[in-house]
Amino acid sequence: MYTGKCLCGEVEVALKGAISDIIHCHCSLCRKSSGTAFATNGFIQSSDFEVVKGQEKLSSFTFKPGRIRHFCSACGSPVYSENQDDPSRLRLRLGILESDIIERPISHNFVSSQANWEDLDAGLPRYDAFEPSRQK
C-alpha cells in the first residue's frame, strides 16, 4: 500500500494497487501546473485509490472537456487527475506519495517541449541537503 499527503497535510490519500506507465512529462501544461521542469505521473486504478482525509479540501479544475485535475485548495498541491473517457483509471502525481514506490519511470515524454534550461543528462553535482553555497 502507498500513502501520501499534500504539502499542508489537509489531504491524505491511500493506494492499495500498483502504479503503471510512470512518465516524466515535459509538456508545457505539466510544467505550468507543477511549476517545475516536468511532472512525474503514473496511472492507477480508480478502485485502488482512496482519499483518506480532506475530501472537502480537494478543488478541481477542468482544462479540457472531461479532463479534471484535483488539487488541495489549502496549499495548491496537485493530487490526481481523471479522464471521464476512462473512469477506471486516474493519473496520480507521484510527488504526493510519501511511501517508497517499487515501480519506476518508463520514459521522458514531450521532450521537444522541455524547458530550455532543463538538461536531462546533466552532470550536475548532487547533495543530500542544500548546495554548499547556501549552507551557513
Model confidence band, residue 63 (pLDDT cutoffs 50, 70, 90): confident
The listed CATH number (3.40.50.720, 2.60.120.10, 2.170.150.70, 3.40.50.970) that belongs to domain 2-114: 2.170.150.70
Q: Looking at residue 21, what is its pLDDT? A: 94
Domain ranges of the chain: 2-114
CB neighbours of residue 96 within 10 Å? 22
Q: Looking at residue 124, what is its pLDDT? A: 67
108 burial via Cβ count (<10 Å: 0-12, 13-18, 19+):
middle
pTM of the entire predicted model: 0.86
Q: Write the pLDDT tens digit of every residue in 118-131.
A: 887 667 676 777 76
Share of the chain above pLDDT 70, in %: 93
The pLDDT of 104-120, averaged and rounded, is 88
